[in-house]
């Protein structure tokens, strides 16, 4: 990612940026748009090459469209750029009909000559699939999420059949495929823009100066400070209600709440749980909540010899008082995790006999494994709060205290953003992390984190690979029988409870706080939705 960062520094000078906005500018934003505050950072705007970043997901949901989306009510894949689709008798050929007259962004760096066609869809996915594609190796040539689900083995070809019909051919029937196309990573790019960049030998700009079909387009960017989007006037669903959105990415922790109270922020994503009572008590603010399909967990570095002992891994799990986490970190808004899958999942299996608080049993397991007091472990903790963990540092300190009762000295290493690629050669025993699912399908929580492909892609930070687990995952996605799928996912959860490559901690709630003058937001257990319908209600004098 260092290469991308250097490219971005060079590219941002073209945007005529400023990170400071005075009272007049703030009033203009208030009158014509809103300021969205979330901690984090971005080095590029294409989620295809991202390894998971909530602020990038929020921005890309405004800039790009996908063929399908996850409907917030039914929680199933539904039409978006694709109006309909057909599946052949083999279950391996999907043909999608595309919406007509979908316009790409007109920006300072690109003026489109045509609307979206099937060739744009084919280009967007063939960049990932085809190693000979001119853009495959651009900006690292790594597609972590797609690699973690073995997308190149799932899809054998993507072809434009007619200008508004595209065909995907799969290697085997796959019940997860439609959910994959609805994931926040599966965005559609302009092939015409790519060809223009290739002609001037500037292919790297495709990810840092984006062109999409979403309701907003990139206008300004300054790293660690702000991203400003302007309304796409030719958006296929009609122009957005607000003419601009400013993402303030300079805030951290309590600073976001202070800005919200001073009306310097209109929206705060994932507020810290301890801030919720203050928000609820303020009549000028509205708090949205949504049960999320997520999990906070500790990934165990299976390359460490002492952690390869199953008894040691289980002892660590039994030593954690999850009720203390829920009370102190989630302020009783979360749920103790008994599985990687949350209770809202249709495949959830509660295995409390394996995942519970039992300090004496934990001590007995360590004695049996020959581990004496004084064992030292390190745990990497990203500082950015998220819906699955509203205060990672505080969670880490509670876990540190729990491990001390077990005679384990836990050293906490902190970082603003966790980059799984940095862990490959790092001397780290544990990682406090989590995951937000892209759909209601259990596969979207299990495969990207724990499959052998996830390990190979650097997406699965536990460095775990289990052939039985992968076989069960593949069986579950190939069968159409709901009862059979549920039974397979119960077996999968049993394997995880026995092997314990990750320690489930909690399932969080998705929160958003905003000025009550703003309405029209859509909260989902999965992807961030566009701000197309957000509008500010005029205040009464």
Q: What's the structural domain count of the chain?
A: 2
For the record, the structure tokens of 289 come out as 């909540």
Q: In the numeric block, which tokens belong to residue 20?
A: 């400071």
Q: Average pLDDT for residues 335-346, to the nearest whole number?
A: 92
Q: How many angstroms separate the Cα of 260 from the Cα of each of 214, 251, 397, 537?
A: 27, 11, 28, 17
What is the four-CA torsion angle of 450, 455, 456, 459, rounded to 10 degrees? 90
- CATH number of the domain that 233 lies in? 3.90.76.10
pLDDT at 344 over 80: yes
One domain for residues 519 and 478: no
**For residue range 425-450, what is the model confidence (pLDDT) as tens digits?**
567 999 999 998 888 899 999 999 99
Are 412 and 280 in contact by the 8 Å Cβ rule? The answer is no
Evaluate whether residue 75 is within a structural domain. Answer: yes
- DSSP β-ladder status, 375-382 and 430-436: parallel
Residue 60 in domain = yes
Residues 177 and 259 in one domain: yes
Question: Is 287 among the domain residues?
Answer: no
Q: What is the pLDDT of residue 96?
A: 98
| pLDDT exceeds cutoff 50 at 362 | yes
Same domain for 347 and 264: no
Structure confidence by residue, pLDDT tens digits, 380-419: 998 888 889 989 999 999 999 999 999 999 999 987 655 5
CB of 269 closer than 8 Å to CB of 37: yes
Domain that holds residue 419: 294-507
The structure tokens 């999420």 sit at 145
For the ranges 110-114, 162-166, 344-348, 466-470, the lowest mean pLDDT is seen at: 344-348
pLDDT at 423: 56
Residue 76: other Cβ atoms inside 10 A = 14
Whether 428 is in a domain gets the answer yes
Cβ-proximal residues to 365 (8 Å cutoff; 6+ apart), any chain:
311, 312, 314, 315, 318
For residues 159 and 256, membership in a common domain is answered with yes
Q: Which long-range contacts does 199-203 make (Cβ < 8 Å, 24+ apart)?
A: 203/134, 203/135, 203/138
Beta bridge partners of 379: 412, 430
The position carrying tokens 């259990």 is 442
The verdict on 250 and 327 lying in the same domain is no
Question: Same structural domain for residues 482 and 373?
Answer: yes
The first and second tokens of residue 29, run together, are 């934003």
pLDDT-wise least confident of 325-334, 422-431, 464-473 = 422-431
Tens of pLDDT, residues 259-293: 999 999 999 988 888 889 999 999 999 999 988 88
Q: Read off the pLDDT of residues 154-205 as tens digits, 9 standing for 90 and up.
A: 999 999 999 999 999 999 999 999 999 999 999 999 999 999 999 999 999 9
Q: Give the CATH number, domain containing residue 431.
A: 3.10.105.10
Q: What is the mean pLDDT of the chain?
A: 89
Residue 3 CB-density burial (10 A; 0-12 exposed, 13-18 middle, 19+ buried): exposed
Q: Do 196 and 303 have their domain in common?
A: no
Q: For 302-355, give the DSSP string.
A: TTSGGGGSHHHHHHHHHT--HHHHHHHTSTT-SEE-SSSS-TTSTT----TTTS
Residues 177 and 57 both lie in one domain: yes
| Nearest to 51, CA basis, from 346, 405, 435, 322 | 435
At residue 251 the predicted structure's pLDDT band, cuts being 50, 70 and 90, is low
Q: What is the pLDDT of residue 4?
A: 43
What percent of the chain is predicted at pLDDT more than 90? 69
- The DSSP line for 405-454 is TTTEEEEEEEESS--GGGGSS---SEEEEEEE-SSSSTHHHHHHHHSHHH
Q: What is the gyration radius of the CA atoms in the chain, in angstroms?
A: 23
Calculate ∠ Cα 223-228-231, nearest 5°.
155
Residue with tokens 């997308």: 151
Q: Provide the residue count of the chain.
A: 541
Query: Per-residue pLDDT for 460 more than 90?
Result: no
Q: Are residues 24 and 152 in the same domain?
A: yes
Contact of 267 with 529, CB cutoff 8 Å? no
Q: If you average pLDDT over residues 368-390, what whole number do you get? A: 90
Which stretch of 138-147, 418-427, 523-532 has the lowest confidence by average pLDDT?
A: 418-427
pLDDT digit string, tens, across residues 288-317: 998 888 999 999 998 889 999 999 999 999
Q: Which two tokens stand for residue 41?
A: 């950072």
Q: What local confidence, expressed as pLDDT, does residue 416 receive? A: 62
Residue 541 lies in a domain: no
Residue bearing tokens 């299976």: 302
Q: Which tokens go with 406?
A: 């077990």
Band of the pLDDT at 130, cuts 50, 70, 90? Answer: very high
Other Cβ atoms less than 10 A from the Cβ of 15: the count is: 17
Quick one: pLDDT at residue 14? 42
Do 469 and 516 share a domain, yes or no?
A: no
Residue 194 lies in a domain: yes
**For the chain, how far is it from start to end, CA to CA, in angstroms?**
50
Q: Which of 30-34, 164-168, 502-506, 526-530 has the lowest mean pLDDT?
A: 526-530
d(CA 61, CA 325): 32
User: Same structural domain for residues 425 and 531?
Assistant: no
Question: What pLDDT, on a 0 to 100 scale, did the predictor assign at position 350?
Answer: 74
Q: The tokens of 116 are what? A: 């979206």
Do 502 and 517 have their domain in common?
no
- How many angstroms separate the CA atoms of 57 and 304, rounded? 33
Read off the pLDDT of each residue in 61-70 and give the average, rounded to a whole number.
96
Residues 6+ apart with CB under 8 A from 457: 142, 144, 147, 148
Which helix (H) or strand (E) segment holds residue 505: the answer is strand 502-507
What phi and psi values does residue 163 have, to the nearest 5 degrees? -55, -25
């Amino acid at each position: 990612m260092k290469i991308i960062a250097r490219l971005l520094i060079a590219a941002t000078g073209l945007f005529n940026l400023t990170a400071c906005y005075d009272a007049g500018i703030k009033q203009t934003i208030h009158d014509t748009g809103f300021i969205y505050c979330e901690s984090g950072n971005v080095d590029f705007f294409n989620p295809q090459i991202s390894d998971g970043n909530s602020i990038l997901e929020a921005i890309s949901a405004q800039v790009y469209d996908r063929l399908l989306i996850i409907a917030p009510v039914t929680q199933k894949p539904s039409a978006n750029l694709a109006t309909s689709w057909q599946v052949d008798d083999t279950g391996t050929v999907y043909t999608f009909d595309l919406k007509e007259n979908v316009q790409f962004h007109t920006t300072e760096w690109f003026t489109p000559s045509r609307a979206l066609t099937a060739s744009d869809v084919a280009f967007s996915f063939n960049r990932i699939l085809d190693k000979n594609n001119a853009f495959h190796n651009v900006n690292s040539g790594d597609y972590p999420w797609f690699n973690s689900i073995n997308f190149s083995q799932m899809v054998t070809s993507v072809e434009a059949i007619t200008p508004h019909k595209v065909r995907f051919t799969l290697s085997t029937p796959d019940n997860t495929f439609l959910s994959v196309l609805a994931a926040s990573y599966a965005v559609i790019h302009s092939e015409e823009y790519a060809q223009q960049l290739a002609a001037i030998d500037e292919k790297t700009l495709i990810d840092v100066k984006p062109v999409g079909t979403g309701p907003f387009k990139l206008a300004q960017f300054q790293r660690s400070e702000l991203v400003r989007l302007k309304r796409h006037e030719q958006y296929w669903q009609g122009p957005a209600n607000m003419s601009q959105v400013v993402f303030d990415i300079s805030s951290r922790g309590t600073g976001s709440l202070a800005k919200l109270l001073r009306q310097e922020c209109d929206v705060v994503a994932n507020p810290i749980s301890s801030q919720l009572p203050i928000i609820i008590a303020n009549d000028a603010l509205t708090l949205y909540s949504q049960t999320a399909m997520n999990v906070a967990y500790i990934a165990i570095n299976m390359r460490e010899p002492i952690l390869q002992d199953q008894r040691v891994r289980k002892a660590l799990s039994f030593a954690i008082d999850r009720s203390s986490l829920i009370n102190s970190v989630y302020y009783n808004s979360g749920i103790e995790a008994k599985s990687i899958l949350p209770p809202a999942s249709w495949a959830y299996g509660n295995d409390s006999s394996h995942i519970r608080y039992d300090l004496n049993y934990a001590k007995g397991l360590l004695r049996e494994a020959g581990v004496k007091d004084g064992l030292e472990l390190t745990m990497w903790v990203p500082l950015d709060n998220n819906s699955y963990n509203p205060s990672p540092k505080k969670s880490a300190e509670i876990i540190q205290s729990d491990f001390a009762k077990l005679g384990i000295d836990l050293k906490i290493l902190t970082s603003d953003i966790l980059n799984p690629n940095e862990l490959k050669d790092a001397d780290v025993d544990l990682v406090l992390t989590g995951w937000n699912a892209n759909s209601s399908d259990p596969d979207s929580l299990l495969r990207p984190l724990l499959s052998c492909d996830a390990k190979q892609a650097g997406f699965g930070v536990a460095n775990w690979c289990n052939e039985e687990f992968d076989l069960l995952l593949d069986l579950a996605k190939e069968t159409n029988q709901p009862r059979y799928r549920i039974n397979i996912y119960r077996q999968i959860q049993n394997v995880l409870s026995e092997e314990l490559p990750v320690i489930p901690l909690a399932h969080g709630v998705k929160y958003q706080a905003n000025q009550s003058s703003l309405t029209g937001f859509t909260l989902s257990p999965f992807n961030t939705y566009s701000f197309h319908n957000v509008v500010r209600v005029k205040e009464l004098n």
